[in-house]
Amino acid sequence: MSNIIFMGTPDFSAPILKALHEAHGVSLVITQPDKPVGRKRVLTPPPVKEMAESLGIEVYQPESMKSDEAFEKVRALSPDLIVTAAFGQILPERVLDIPRLGCINVHASLLPKYRGGAPIHKSIINGEKNSGVTIMYMVKRLDAGDMIDSVKVPIEIDDTVGTLHDKLSDAGTKLLLEVMPSVLNGTNNRTPQNDDEATFASNVSREEEYVTFDRSALEVHNHIRGLSPWPVAFANFDGKVMKLWASEMADGKGAPGEVIQADKAGLVIATNDGAVRITSLQPAGKKRMDAASFVAGAKSQLVGMKFNEA
């Protein structure tokens, strides 16, 4: 078997690591350090670390791949190939130059569209009909290397970041296994990207989580599902922040942001061309709940109230 280093961190990467190790063997897994999670700030290992340990693979968790220690760790192993998938750190050029077969990345978009750290979120928010996975060679520039192969994955109207994430992880796993033999024997395709067609998907900012309703119903729906189940969209309601976990298209008219219906089906909120129904939400200081429970427990008349009203 070839000497392969795998670099990845979140849930997206774990099944890719498992399949790669079972097919070709992985000598070392490099992932992000354990991080505090939740209100109690419990130190939690990334999913890739948990997968690697279950497979009996050595794990290395550097704070930065730019450090001399990280460079020496990789160089000492003399890998044939480095495979990355949502690792979360940019590899310096001296690390990229180590493997004799180079470094390849499993990226969750149809490059050159949506280069960067949040391609799944941004493709849904922007109303794309398709996403996909591209496997490419890594270069110094962000997600700009030659493409080896790609696969298209349709985005359904009810897809969220969570559902599309899982579809793309599965598609990326299958595609990687398909291209690996040609990568290892040097017969794979290398197609340069057209930089003129490149778009970028930077990590979601707090400002981008804020939902406004003075847009089309489809744009609002895309915004909410494009942030679910993480980091979750929010709006202001009755002077407090409310997280909006799930929505669907609805009928109705009213001033943008106005609640025009509140019943067991949820909260229907007007947009500038129709309405959306919020089916799952989280009031400030409370747990996530279905919108029907929120309506049932409301202490005041909801219809006529407005989201994001000053």
Report whether 164 belongs to an annotated binding site. Answer: no
Q: Was 142 annotated as part of a binding site?
A: no
Any idea what DSSP says for residue 56?
Answer: T
Annotated binding residue 55: no
Nearest residue to 161 (alpha-carbon basis) of 199, 198, 115, 209: 209
Question: CB within 8 A of 299, min separation 6: which ones?
Answer: none
Residue 159 tokens, joined: 């897809």
| Residue 229, annotated as binding a ligand | no
Distance of CA 275 to the CA centre of its chain: 27
Q: Hey, CA dihedral for 165, 102, 47, 282, is it positive or negative?
A: negative
Beta bridge mates, 249:
276
DSSP 204: P
Q: How many residues does the chain have?
A: 310
CA 103 to chain centre: 21
What is the DSSP code (8-state) at residue 116?
Answer: S
At 271, list the tokens.
């947009």
Annotated binding site for (6S)-5,6,7,8-tetrahydrofolate: 109-112
Annotated binding site: 109-112
